[in-house]
């Protein structure tokens, strides 16, 4: 049995950030900004975004700076970029959530600590700063463009466990973590859960 291909997203850029916007047929009940991990790209999350659209939600996946088609290098503006993308989704949906994996989970939690209006945060294997610093300082080549000195200083100024404690009481938080994760041990999410409001 043949199925029609899914409708493509709207592909645009905002302030040098390349994004794909998936809008449902009717008025979206909510929207979600999808945040990828280090070395990944927005296209890796199109299936999830299409699923959101099928459920009546708007979904936006974007390339973090230094990744995919976005301009610039990854660095201290990463959380500001998430908030810009969330504002874009707010133009289409009354409530906005963030869903991030690994580095994207780190960004989601920090963005929610700065902006109390998110209805939900989903963090999948969220990477604490020390894991991201370990990656930057490793002898392995990075799979993305990064302003390493500025990013190191920025990461050293942050604390994911403090940030999760500053998420608004009305913001739902879902932490998902694979017990077999070899990059970010699952007890990290257990500690985040204990630190959350």
In a domain, 88, yes or no: yes
In a domain, 129, yes or no: yes
Number of domains in the chain: 1
Going by C-beta distance under 8 Å and a sequence separation of 6 or more, which residues neighbour residue 128? 106, 160, 161, 184, 188
How many other CB atoms are found less than 10 A from the CB of residue 14? 15
In a domain, 18, yes or no: yes
Position 2 scores a pLDDT of 76
Position 4 scores a pLDDT of 76
Spell out a b/e string for 91-130, using b for 16 or more CB atoms within 10 Å of the CB, else e.
ebbebbbbbbbbbbbbbbbbbbbebeebbbbbbbbbbbbe
What CATH number does the domain containing 106 carry?
3.40.50.1820
Position 65 scores a pLDDT of 98
Position 136 scores a pLDDT of 97
**From start to end of 63-192, where are the E strands?**
96-101, 120-124, 172-176
The pLDDT tens digits for 35-64 are: 999 999 999 999 999 999 999 999 999 999
Position 132 scores a pLDDT of 98
In a domain, 101, yes or no: yes
In a domain, 1, yes or no: no
In a domain, 166, yes or no: yes
Tell me what the pLDDT averaged over the chain comes to: 97
In what side-by-side order are the strands of the sheet with 58-62?
Answer: 10-14, 17-22, 58-62, 31-35, 96-101, 120-124, 172-176
In a domain, 163, yes or no: yes
**What span, in angstroms and rounded, lies between the C-alpha atoms of 8 and 10?**
7
Structural domain that includes position 148: 10-195
Confidence of residue 5 (pLDDT cuts 50, 70, 90): confident
pTM of the model: 0.96
Across residues 7-17, what is the average pLDDT? 96
In a domain, 169, yes or no: yes
Helix, strand, coil shares of the chain, percent, nearest 5, are 35, 20, 45
């Amino acid at each position: 049995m043949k199925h029609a291909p899914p409708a493509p997203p709207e592909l645009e850029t905002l302030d040098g950030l390349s994004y794909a916007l998936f809008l449902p047929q009717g008025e979206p009940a909510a929207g979600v900004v999808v945040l990828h991990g280090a070395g990944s790209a927005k296209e890796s999350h199109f299936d999830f975004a299409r699923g959101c659209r099928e459920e009546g939600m708007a979904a936006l996946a974007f390339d973090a700076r230094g990744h995919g088609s976005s301009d610039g290098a990854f660095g201290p503006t990463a959380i500001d970029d998430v908030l810009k993308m969330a504002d874009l989704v707010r133009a289409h949906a009354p409530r906005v959530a963030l869903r991030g994996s690994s580095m994207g989970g780190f960004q989601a939690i920090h963005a929610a600590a700065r902006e109390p209006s998110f209805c939900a945060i989903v963090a999948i294997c969220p990477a604490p700063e020390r894991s991201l610093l370990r990656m930057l300082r490793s002898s392995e080549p990075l799979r993305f463009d990064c302003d390493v000195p500025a990013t190191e200083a920025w990461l050293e100024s942050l604390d994911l466990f403090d940030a999760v404690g500053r998420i608004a009481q009305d913001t739902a938080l879902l932490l998902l973590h694979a017990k077999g994760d070899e990059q970010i041990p699952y007890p990290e999410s257990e500690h985040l859960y204990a630190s959350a409001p």
